[in-house]
């Protein structure tokens, strides 16, 4: 993702000039690591708030502001992590032809029916999700994944896989199963946005509270967290 000074200032201008204007919580990757280490569900994201006092640096609003070297290094590390997440997401898109081979076959009506059926599986079929989960293999993992039989919708691991596959199904259908190789910078940025949106949705579902105006996210929220609080 391009981190231009203009984009940065636009982003930080939305925050009020007060101490602790938002709660900082552990990101999705951190929740997954907690579950793998403890072999227990991590609980709501709000249980993992950072207990610190902070205030955004007003200099971030200036286009000519340069990040200190340590901060720039941290940003670079997060960018590299996001790139790995995008690569993993693209692999999930390619898996759709195996998981749901009918979503691009036949007439328009049959394809639409197959897509709705696939979304229904991802939203409601816990056993199917556990089956997909059971096929996961983490590279260089020091601890095994929690057993599939114990992973339920209150686990971050379950919601991470569920939401990731919903997004992957959407991309697979949107591009007719053919993502260009290599991806153009514009398309790659779209994949980044999908990965970030997926992370926000996962946190919202685990918290059972979510704020969005995006039609796609509202649709999936209603599908997988119908009793949660949605703020538009």
Condensed to tens digits (0 to 9), the pLDDT of residues 179-224 reads 888 999 999 999 999 999 999 999 999 999 999 999 999 999 999 9
3-state class of 230 per DSSP?
Answer: strand
Highest mean pLDDT among 72-76, 104-108, 144-148, 204-208: 204-208
Distance from the Cα of residue 83 to its chain's centroid: 13
Q: How far apart are CA 48 and CA 31, in angstroms?
A: 9
Question: Average pLDDT in the 61-75 region?
Answer: 84
Q: Which residue has the higher pLDDT, 8 or 219?
A: 219
Q: How far apart are CA 123 and CA 117, in angstroms?
A: 10
Where does 84-159 show beta strands of DSSP type E? none
Q: Is the pLDDT of residue 6 over 90?
A: no
Instruction: Work out how many domains the chain is built from and give that number.
Output: 1
3-state class of 142 per DSSP?
Answer: coil
Work out the mean pLDDT of the chain and round it to a whole number: 90
Question: Average pLDDT in the 58-86 region?
Answer: 86
Q: Among 44, 60, 43, which residue's Cα sits nearest to residue 3?
A: 60
pLDDT score, position 141: 61
Q: Extract the tokens encoding 164.
A: 């990731």
Q: Is 10 exposed, middle or buried (0-12, 13-18, 19+ CB in 10 A)?
A: exposed
Write the DSSP symbol of residue 49: B
HSE-CB of 162 using CA atoms within 13 angstroms = 31
Condensed to tens digits (0 to 9), the pLDDT of residues 79-131 reads 899 999 999 999 999 999 999 999 999 999 999 999 999 999 999 999 999 99
- Residue given tokens 């007060």 in the structure block: 18
Q: Identify whether the C-beta of residue 25 lies closer than 8 Å to the C-beta of residue 48.
A: yes
Q: Is the pLDDT of residue 165 over 80?
A: yes
- Per the structure, the complete domain to which residue 222 belongs is given by 5-231
Q: Identify whether the C-beta of residue 194 lies closer than 8 Å to the C-beta of residue 176.
A: no
């Amino acid at each position: 993702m391009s981190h231009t000074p203009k984009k940065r200032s636009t982003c930080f201008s939305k925050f009020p000039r007060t101490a602790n204007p938002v709660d900082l919580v552990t990101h999705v990757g951190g929740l997954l690591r907690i579950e793998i280490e403890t072999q227990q569900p991590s609980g709501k994201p709000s249980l993992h708030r950072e207990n610190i006092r902070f205030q955004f640096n007003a200099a971030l609003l200036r286009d000519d502001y340069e990040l200190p070297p340590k901060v720039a290094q941290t940003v670079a590390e997060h960018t590299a992590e996001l790139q790995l997440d995008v690569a993993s997401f693209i692999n999930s898109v390619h898996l759709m032809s195996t998981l749901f081979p009918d979503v691009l076959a036949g007439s328009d009506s049959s394809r639409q029916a197959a897509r709705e059926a696939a979304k229904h599986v991802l939203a409601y079929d816990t056993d199917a999700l556990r089956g997909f989960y059971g096929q996961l293999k983490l590279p260089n993992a020091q601890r095994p994944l929690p057993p599939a039989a114990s992973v339920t919708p209150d686990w971050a691991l379950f919601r991470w896989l569920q939401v990731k596959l919903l997004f992957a199904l959407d991309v697979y259908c949107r591009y007719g199963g053919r993502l260009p190789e290599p991806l153009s910078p514009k398309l790659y940025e779209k994949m980044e946005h999908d990965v970030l949106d997926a992370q926000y949705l996962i946190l919202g579902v685990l918290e059972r509270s979510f704020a969005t105006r995006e039609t796609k996210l509202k649709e999936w929220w209603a599908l997988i967290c119908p009793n949660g609080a949605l703020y538009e």
